Amino acid sequence: FSWVARMATDDYVGFTFFVGCMAMMAAAAFFFLSMNQFDKKWRVSILVSGLITFIAAVHYWYMRDYWAANMESPTFFRYVDWVLTVPLMCVEFFLILRVAGAKKSLMWNLILLSVIMLVTGYFGEAVQRDQAWLWGLISGLAYFAIVYIIWFGEAKKLAQTAGGAVLKAHKTLCWFVLVGWAIYPIGYMAGTPGWYEGWFTGLNMDVIYNIGDAVNKIGFGLVIYNLAVQASND
Amino acid sequence: FSWVARMATDDYVGFTFFVGCMAMMAAAAFFFLSMNQFDKKWRVSILVSGLITFIAAVHYWYMRDYWAANMESPTFFRYVDWVLTVPLMCVEFFLILRVAGAKKSLMWNLILLSVIMLVTGYFGEAVQRDQAWLWGLISGLAYFAIVYIIWFGEAKKLAQTAGGAVLKAHKTLCWFVLVGWAIYPIGYMAGTPGWYEGWFTGLNMDVIYNIGDAVNKIGFGLVIYNLAVQASND
Ligand SMILES: CC1=C(/C=C/C(C)=C/C=C/C(C)=C/C=O)C(C)(C)CCC1
Ligand SMILES: CC1=C(/C=C/C(C)=C/C=C/C(C)=C/C=O)C(C)(C)CCC1
């Protein structure tokens, strides 16, 4: 057996890492095992939902132990996770909008913006913490560009063309990006120095990020799952 | 090779952790690999049975090592496990009653009650042990509310509307909740201080919880499995 760290009963950070890890594993199993229940055209989307939660499960396994061993934020692993999973979420937008003729360029634009958002965020959080506000600002601009494209831009128009269950799912995903993803900048401001210091004192950055990940990764996947169920019933 | 703890021949607690872990793994494999044998409408229910035992298998793996390493109750991990698996059991009630038109609100009510039951139980067991009786009482009230809903309330009526194999399975699950789940408060009273001290001396809390988990998680899943078999023969 391997050495097992004792977990303090009031270690809420450790608790969210642990629950998050297990929830991601279960979600990945759920998506992987469900994919063949659906019509061919939905299978890739469900598979990608499974990959997003699977990647997260592996990173949470790591981050949970990292936290238990060092009692320190596993920022590095978190960004490794995001830089893989957030582009995959952009792929999901593209996949469901393919029925309306979405072009690959839409996907690549979203992916590029998400990578800019995350790389600049990492710089602010881990490399140039004194300038966290500036890097956060640049990151935020890329975030707004994503929000714009899906809420009002090209993606919105494609969703309207598709109509029906796809339009409804697209709308829900848009709310996830606007409200669910907004959890992350809050965690960032709670965990970095800057003129916004004190806005979110008392909140723990890792707990915020962990809640955000559970909501966004599993929730996003369930929206796609639900879309496949709806579309199969039509 | 990794270092392997020797297991004392009379370590009954360690024994139940070990057997429990293996039984959960086998049950998860059984449910996962069986799901495609059944008609589409039963597959999600079987998959959820698989997830419940899969989640338990991972936690038992952990808890077994935790016990071997620290000779201490892995209370924290146990509640992480419950807080994921008990709500999934509530989902199972909803899934089998969908044929009779069960509404999502039924599912959410049961989930909410189960979370209240577990969070208050955790408080009594791990945070405010001096007040264990009070937290246990609140937890017990939530437990009775669940029992009421499935035995006499909304869920009961839906089961009667559904009739046949669904009604029979629902009845068996009701007995699991009334008798099988009642194992847990016994473990709680054996493991916490309070005016009930002495009622269950000699009984070990972890052994009781481990037996409860095996009965309820695997048994519950088998009832669903059996329902799918019956319904496919009709
Ligand atoms: C705007 C902004 C950020 C946004 C992060 C986001 C939106 C992350 C999303 C992650 C997801 C969706 C992960 C999971 O599945 C950062 C980088 C914290 C830096 C501060 C400014
Ligand atoms: C009433 C009561 C409790 C009930 C726990 C139950 C009913 C747990 C069920 C767990 C299951 C079914 C797990 C597995 O699969 C507690 C929290 C011990 C605290 C004391 C009062």
Is residue B4 in a domain? Answer: no
Verify whether the Cβ–Cβ distance B2 to A2 is below 8 Å. Answer: yes
Is residue B126 within 8 angstroms of chain A, CB to CB? Answer: yes
Per-residue confidence (pLDDT) for residue A1, from 0 to 100: 43
Which residue among B88, B118, B209 has the greatest number of ligand 2 atoms within 8 angstroms of its CB, and so is best to mutate? B118
Q: Searching chain A, which residue's CA lies closest to the CA of residue B122? A: A9
As a whole number of Å, the CA-based R_g of chain B is 18
Ligand 2 contacts CB of residue B30 (under 6 A)? no
Is residue A6 in a domain? Answer: no
Hey, what amino acid is at A10? Answer: D
Q: Which ligand is nearest to the CA of A53?
A: 1
Burial A39-63 (b: 16+ CB within 10 A, else e): eeebeebbbbbbbbbbbbbebbbbb
Is residue B222 in a domain? Answer: yes
Is residue B2 in a domain? Answer: no
Give the closest residue (by CA) to ligand 1 atom 5: A184
Is residue B86 in a domain? Answer: yes
Per-residue confidence (pLDDT) for residue B50, from 0 to 100: 96
Provide the domain limits for residue A62.
12-233
Whether pLDDT at A2 is above 60: no
CA dihedral B74, B89, A57, A93 (to 10 degrees): -160
Which residue among B58, B93, B181 has the greatest number of ligand 2 atoms within 8 angstroms of its CB, and so is best to mutate? B181
For A83, A127, A142, A207, the CA distances from A133, given in Å and listed in that order, are 21, 13, 14, 21
Give chain A's domain count. 1
State the average pLDDT for chain B: 90
Token pair 């994919």 is found at A35
Is residue B79 in a domain? Answer: yes
Q: Cβ distance A179 to A116 under 8 Å?
A: no
**Predicted confidence (pLDDT) per residue in B73-117, tens digit:** 888 889 889 999 999 999 999 999 998 998 999 999 999 999 999
Q: What is the CATH number of the domain that holds A150?
A: 1.20.1070.10
Half-sphere exposure of B195 (CA within 13 A, CB side): 5
CB contact set of A230 (below 8 Å; sequence gap of 6+): A165, A168, A169
Is residue A4 in a domain? Answer: no
Whether pLDDT at A234 is above 70: no
Is residue A182 in a domain? Answer: yes
**Predicted confidence (pLDDT) per residue in B170-200, tens digit:** 999 999 999 999 999 988 888 777 777 778 7
Please state the rounded mean pLDDT for residues A46-57: 96
**Predicted confidence (pLDDT) per residue in A197-232, tens digit:** 777 777 788 888 999 999 999 999 999 999 999 888
Count the neighbouring beta carbons within 10 Å of the beta carbon of residue A127: 10
For residue A27, which of B147, B206, B145, B47 has the smallest C-alpha distance? B47
